[in-house]
Structure 1
Amino acid sequence: MYKKFAELLAKHHKTAYQVAKDTGIAQSVLSDWKTGRSKPKADKLKILAEYFGVTIDYFYEDTTVSVQ
């Protein structure tokens, strides 16, 4: 999930600090997601999805391409 979040940060030219400030999601929470200490809860994903204009499902979509 954090990989998707990082992609959105780059695409929208935002920093995790800016997102934390704008959404009210603590920077420490974002850091815990990055390091794998915790996983995001649905309410936080909803906030991020609305902030970036994506669906919650976006964070769960598999970006790997399978080679057959």
Structure 2
Amino acid sequence: MSLYTAVKKVAGQNHKSIYQIEHDLQLSNGMISKWNKSMPRADALQDVADYLGVTTQYLFNLARKEQ
């Protein structure tokens, strides 16, 4: 599973869309979807993790576990 997919899964559990996260955190449109193929900036990933109420380590572990 990619990091994007892990974020999407946790977002769904919190009843949030990727668009809503990007909008609320004032991230550029499509930024999180780019995490499907590339590593995010540390500050952006931390902001998303905080928003979702999880740690960055949790997101990485979730992404790695599903591979």
TM-score, normalising length: structure 2: 0.78
Deviation at 1:26, TM superposition (A): 1.4
What RMSD, in angstroms, separates the aligned Cα atoms of the two structures?
Answer: 1.7
Confirm or deny that 1:50 pairs with 2:57.
no
Q: 2 CA distance for matches of 1:58 and 1:8?
A: 10
Q: 2 CA distance for matches of 1:23 and 1:64?
A: 27
Q: What are structure 1's unaligned runs of at least 5 residues?
A: none
Q: Which aligned segments of 4 or more residues in structure 1 are displaced greater than 6 angstroms? A: none
Q: What are structure 2's unaligned runs of at least 5 residues?
A: none
- Identity across matched positions, percent: 30
Q: Relative contact order: is structure 1 or structure 2 higher (C-alpha 8 Å, sep ≥ 6)?
A: 2
- Check the 8 A contact 2:25/2:47 in 1, yes or no: yes
